[in-house]
Structure 1
Amino acid sequence: MTTRSSADTQTTDESRDPVSAPTTDLGTARASVAVDHPGISALFGVLAAGEIAAFYRLTSEATMALSMRAKVAMARMAASEMGHFETLSAALEERGVDVMSAIERYSDVIERYHGSTTPRNWLESVVKAYIGDALAADFYVEVAEALPAPAQQVVRDVMSATVNSEFACAEVHRALENDPALRSPLTLWGRRLLGEAITQTQYALAAEESLTDMLFSGMSDLSMLTRFFDAIQERHAARMADLGLG
């Protein structure tokens, strides 16, 4: 993939990188998923649980913001997450799935991730919003390629821009200029976010056979899965560089 510079990122107005095109061939390597595959409902349920959790998290963490501008930015991110939740709710209802039951089914794994990555300060909150949001987008956009068109569009819609990368990068760069010693702990924080995201994703997949079958059936060898996670780690490294970390 091409690593973007900080300047490139900061000229992108509401971007999480934003819904990047898939960088692996996993989608074409798998047979198309049937419209009624139960894994689609499971996927929507996981996403819905993640979006509602993100809404409450961002609302809470906005209280750590150091300026009114920052508080407004976080509020806008939270509003965007809620909009994504409504889209997923409608998609689940169209499939005859009870939305509240779907959310509760996956709330534990989402809460484990947030519980293990609770920001201790404002800058950690900004890095988590930018990095964590983008990691989710990377994973789901990659796996969405094998979905039928309507489901694929839902995934792309809800994985669209949430975090204002210009805001996030500016906040972190400003802090690093004032105190370069922050670079090391924030870099470790970014790495921790990646590790926890991968760990909790594995837990979610292990607990939901229909989702695992839908996402990874048809892979001819383990090298495809390796390329999949390599692509996610490469994008993560690029975003860390955008923030001045890494």
Structure 2
Amino acid sequence: MSDVIPVPDQPADRGADDADLRAGTVDLLGAIAYGALTAFERLAQDGAGAPTLADKVTLATMAGRQVDHLERVRDRLAELGADLMGAMEPFHRAFDDFHAHTRPKDWLEGLMWVYVGSGFADDFYAEVAVHVDPETRALVDEVLSDAGHDDFVVEHVRAGIEADPRVAGRLALWGRRLAGEALSQAQRVAVDRVGLTRLLMGAEGVDVVAVNKSLSRLVEKHAARLRRLGLQP
């Protein structure tokens, strides 16, 4: 049996495909917007517990960048005739559950929450964004760009491990837990939102091989993050 199940390309289906593409694009932007909002909240909380004034300023700057991302996504949604609040609403439960199951216990775990957990979600969005229109894809690429946050986290987590090597094991387990929860919620969202599922599957049909490759890339990028932190060989 072929791995690709084609979707009939009939005139009646083309309208449905276009509707699914728009719905998926709105869902993708809604998820990214709510992700930016939750990242802002996490960075603000991390800033409150930061050990130095310089760290507080850095995290405040990063939090402010998330607000900019939120506003830019809102503007793109408006161009598509969609409302920001309505676009974000379907993702409240998944994000809030992720928060509830992954509450950091300290400064280092808080830094990893954004780097590993939020990073995994961003990689998922980037995979989905391959199939959206060029203007939306360019916006997604820009919004998901690192802008220095990764280096900041890596420097501080590695310094924390160097100061107390005993924390390495705990942080490695924390990283795996974050990725597991993020993958679980991403799968849940993809199943619940038909348009988003169609984007992930691809416009030409249900390409199982492509989807499996996407999931493999997510796992590989997660492993690369842990390696940068010194938490995985």
Deviations 1:207-244 (A, max 9, x none): 11121122214356423222211111111111111111
- 2:144 counterpart residue number: 159
Q: What's 1:16 paired with?
A: none
Question: Aligned match of 2:26 in 22, 37, 41?
Answer: 41
Contact 1:52 1:82 in 2 (8 A): yes
TM-score normalised by structure 1 residue count: 0.81
User: Structure 2: which 5+ runs fail to align?
Assistant: 1-8, 10-16
**Please, which of 219, 226, 229 is the counterpart of residue 233 of structure 1?**
219
TM-score (norm 2): 0.85
Name the counterpart of 1:27: none
Mapping 1:95-174, distance limit 5 Å: 95-162=80-147, 164-174=149-159
1:213 to 182, 193, 198: 198
Q: Which of the two has higher C-alpha Rg?
A: 2
Q: Is the 8 A contact 2:36 2:70 kept in 1?
A: yes
> Equivalents in 1 of 2:138, 2:167: separation in Å?
39
Residues 164-211 of structure 1 show CA distances to partners (whole Å, capped at 9, x for unaligned) of: 222211111111111111100000000111101100011111211121
* 1:136 CA drift (Å): 2.3
Q: Alignment identity in percent?
A: 33
- Which protein, 1 or 2, shows the higher relative CO under an 8 Å CA cutoff with sep ≥ 6? 1
Shift of the 219–195 alpha-carbon distance from structure 1 to 2, 3 Å rule, reads: farther
Q: Over residues 18-68 of structure 1, what are the superposed CA-to-partner deviations in whole Å (9 max), with x where a residue is unaligned?
A: xxxxxxxxxxxxx9x859622111111111111112112211222121111
**Matches of 1:75 and 1:178 in 2, distance apart?**
25
Other-structure match for 1:67: 52
Match of 1:10 in 2: none
- What is the RMSD of the two structures over their aligned residues, measured on CA atoms? 1.9
Cα separation, 1, equivalents of 2:38 and 2:217: 26
The alignment partner of 2:65 has SS state of helix
Higher share in helix: 2
